[in-house]
Structure 1
Amino acid sequence: MPGRVLMVAFHFPPSGAVAAQRAHKFARYLPDFGWTPLVIARKPDPMHPRDDSFAGKPAPEEELDPFEWSRLLGVLPKSWIDPLRRYWFLPDPESGWRRLLQRRLPDLVERLRPDVLWANSVPTGSLVAAAAVARALSIPLVIDFHNEWTRNMYYRPSTPRHDAAHHRMEREVIETAAVVVTLNPLHTEDLRRRFPNARVETIENGCDPADYPVAPPDPARRPLVLTYAGTVYGHQSPQPFLRALAETGRTDVQVRVVGDSFGQFQGGSWPFKLSVEGHRTHQELGGVFSESSAFFLCLEPPAAR
């Protein structure tokens, strides 16, 4: 029964955030299956990278522009910000987005007449708002988890009360959804164990060759170019790989770190050449791929599993 799907996507082109790509690909390919996507996104945030590679393909039906009180905490000492945000803002710091979305969604559903409501979990507040509206209007809901919620490696509730609130919201969202989608089979199996009555499916991220031309690999390339392409934060750091590579004594290699948008990575001194670059557009990544011999992904415990 193909029809119209109202998609709630906090990150959507021209946002350059990595989460924008997953929502965009759903919107791009749903018409091939008879579904018409109607996207509700956050207005592009000047604090986030911008990528016009896929802007307008499709364009959002509406962009919301919330005010976020949590950002006022940025004037405080850095060590205070994260603990205070986790204490005061549930389920995430984007509380202005969640409230505005929950207030606007009923009118959007009335105007656009979707057959299905879809929302993804960056941030999780999108799921909370969408689930509340889906229950109130009796519209089928599909939720798409970009990351885990209460099993996330960065999940650190401030108090037992906060922990209980997170688990309650997670349960209500999953029990409201007609279908739950994850991008990770491990996450899928965890949700199936904890919520045996929920329908949980896996749709992994992919690579669309049509997005960018990539030259075939050159086995004779020297030095070998080893590339880390992605955001640098938390447990996601190239440092373990760099230390291991240095211990081999190899100097005929070059390491590229591409995507350090917020200057989180300090390169340091190594026996091989290391370059650190900021955000690249999605289409520019074709050149990065063509110039690389291999890619690496580093996740420190507890992320490495």
Structure 2
Amino acid sequence: MKKVLIITYYWPPAGGPGVQRWLKFVKYLAEFDIEPVVYIPANPTYPLTDKSLASEVPENVQVVQKDILEPYSLAKLFSKKDTETISSGIIAKEGKQNFLQKMMLYIRGNFFIPDARKFWIKPSVKFLKKFLKEQQINTIITTGPPHSLHLIGLQLKKDIEISWFADFRDPWTQIGYHDKLKLSKASEKKHLALEKEVLNAADQIITTSFTTKQEFQNKTAKPVTVITNGFDEKPTKNGIQLDKKFSFSHIGSLLSGRNPENLWKCLGELISENKSFADDFMLNLVGAVSEEVLDSIKAAGLKDHLTLQKYVPHFEAIKLQRKSQVLLLIEIDSRETQGIIPGKVFEYLSAKRPILALGPEKWDICQILDETLAGTFFLYSEKEELKQHILNLYSQFKKGRLEVNSRNIENYHRKTLTGNLANLLKQN
């Protein structure tokens, strides 16, 4: 059985989609004759925790831990989640940042390259060189962000004879918030140089989106493969009691950049124009929601139809998705977000409820929706088309026929995706 070391920052009890990708790969790899060994920090700072995920770690998997030194008081600021928050506007809108916020962004971008977990690189390389030899492991996988973990792989590749896979759950210099980091010209060059070095040194590049694959193929001659995220629950309609209301649900954060005002306006108009619709409609938002989004929802007249819940454990999120009438998928309307495929879309596929997606032109999600016939995509500007689609969904709801006849969703089951990963590993 081939032995592989997985170097990841996020691992249970971390919450959020980042931890689930490699937790699920580890769950199934043994079925494909791959023995995973996991290397994680012993004392990480996670922005979200979900203790329920710990039960999914296979009992026989070796998990190796080593202390990490990270600037504790700044760790939340430096994490991907909160960096997105800053650049999206909850903490500070562009042009409205106070002096401290500007300084923190400058420090994060220029003194912690590529990120605040950089202090884990040297001690990890020193430890792992010995560990890999003792364990007779000659294949490693680094997954980022944090992209500093790829620098662990880079140094190991230089120092010892190994096969190295670099997994990019998000882009590096192409990610939407990168230009919000107040980078000096020297820092920008350093980010680009490190990214280029990683892309050209790794034996195999893995991305989670089609757009990111294309961007990386323009930067390296090394093979780039898309292995998306996926779902792990068995798709089923049996035994699911759907909401009696005509419910629209969004699971996950809705920051200021993700604010489809035309959607809220469409819903508000339908409520004012159609008493039956007003009696039936309910909007469920689960996760962090910015004040700007809430203000837009209330301005559209949806306050009395809105329910809010904070972050819920993963198993509860699955239940909420499966009983909703319609599932909302919303992304920031910008070129930089075309390659972002939110992890929740795959759980939406498993839920077998109609997906209503709004995002940028040429969004990667469109390829998945076309392949699976699981939902419909709209641009932010397509207000009238969106309104008509909602009316069609409501008509089906009233007739008791609101469902989705999706196809090919088994391609996105975690076990299938792990099989794709295992094939790559065996080729190297």
User: Where on the TM-score scale, by shorter chain, does this alignment land: which range?
Assistant: 0.7 to 0.9
What are the residue-to-residue correspondences of 1:1-305 with 2, within 5 Å? 2-43=1-42, 45=44, 47-55=46-54, 57-58=57-58, 61-69=63-71, 71-72=73-74, 77-156=100-179, 158-195=183-220, 197-210=221-234, 215-216=239-240, 218=242, 221-233=243-255, 235-237=257-259, 241-249=263-271, 251=278, 252-260=280-288, 264-265=290-291, 267-268=294-295, 269=298, 270-271=301-302, 272-302=304-334, 303=337, 304=360, 305=363
Q: Which amino acid aligns with 2:5?
A: L
Q: In 1, are the aligned partners of 2:245 and 2:281 still within 8 Å (CA)? A: yes
The AA in structure 2 aligned to 1:301 is: D
Asked if the contact 1:258–1:278 (Cα under 8 Å) also holds between the matched residues in 2, the reply is yes
- Partner secondary structure for residue 206 of structure 2: strand
C-alpha separation in 2, matches of 1:212 and 1:52: 26
How high is the TM-score relative to the length of structure 2? 0.63
TM-score (norm 1): 0.86
State the secondary structure of the residue aligned to 1:205: coil
- Superimposed CA distance per residue, residues 250-294 of structure 1 (whole angstroms, 9 cap, x where no aligned partner): 53321112122xx64563424252222222222222321233111
Shift of 1:54: 3.2
- The code of the aligned residue for 2:226 comes to T
Q: Which amino acid aligns with 2:286?
A: V
Q: 1:292 to 1:43 in 2, by over 3 A?
A: farther
Tell whether the 8 Å contact from 2:168 to 2:207 is kept in structure 1 after alignment. yes
Provide the secondary structure at the position in 2 that maps to 1:92.
coil
Cα contact 2:75–2:116 (8 A) shared by 1:
no
Q: Secondary structure at the match of 1:284?
A: helix
Q: How far, CA to CA, are the matches of 2:15 and 2:238 in structure 1?
A: 20
Question: Contact 1:16/1:49 (CA < 8 Å) preserved in 2?
Answer: yes
**Structure 2: distance between partners of 1:225 and 1:139:** 51
Partner Cα separation in structure 1 for residue 135 and residue 258 of structure 2: 40
Quote how far apart the aligned CAs of 1:93 are: 2.4
What is the CA–CA distance in structure 2 between the aligned matches of 1:103 and 1:212, rounded to whole Å?
Answer: 48
Relative to structure 1, the CA distance from residue 248 to residue 128 in structure 2 (aligned partners, 3 Å threshold; closer, same or farther) is farther
SS in 1 for 2:39: strand
Q: Unpaired segments of 5 or more residues in structure 1?
A: none
Q: Secondary structure at the match of 1:295?
A: strand
Larger deviation, residues 140-149 vs 286-295? 286-295
Q: Report the secondary structure of 1:120's partner residue.
A: strand
Letter in 2 for 1:133: L
The 1:297/1:153 distance shift into structure 2, 3 A limit, reads: same
Q: CA RMSD in A?
A: 2.8
* Equivalent position amino acid for 2:42 in 1: K
Quick one: which amino acid aligns to residue 7 of structure 1? I
Distance 2:188 2:153 in 1: 21
- Check the 8 A contact 1:226/1:295 in 2, yes or no: yes
Q: 1:72 Cα shift?
A: 4.2
Sequence identity, in percent?
Answer: 19
DSSP 3-state at the match of 2:51: coil
Q: CA deviation at 1:36?
A: 0.4
- 2:317 is aligned with what amino acid? L
SS at match of 1:254: strand
Judging changes above 3 Å, is the alpha-carbon distance between structure 1 residues 265 and 44 closer, same or farther for their aligned structure 2 residues? farther
Q: Please, which moves more after superposition, 101-110 or 19-28?
A: 101-110
The structure whose Rg is larger is 2
Q: d(CA) in 2 for partners of 1:31 and 1:41?
A: 19
Say which SS state the counterpart of residue 53 (structure 1) adopts: helix
Alpha-carbon distance between aligned partners in 1 of 2:236 and 2:157, rounded to the nearest angstrom: 38
Kindly tell me: are residues 150 and 212 of structure 1, through their superposed partners in 2, closer, same or farther at Cα, counting changes over 3 Å? Answer: farther
Q: Does the Cα contact within 8 Å between 1:39 and 1:62 map onto a contact in 2?
A: yes
State the AA in 1 paired with 2:13: P
Structure 2 residue matching 1:194: 3-state secondary structure? coil
- Taking structure 1 as reference, are residues 210 and 114 closer, same or farther at Cα in structure 2, changes over 3 Å only? farther
The letter for the 2-side match of 1:65 is: D
Cα distance change on mapping 1:126 and 1:237 into 2, 3 Å: farther
Count of matched residue pairs: 299
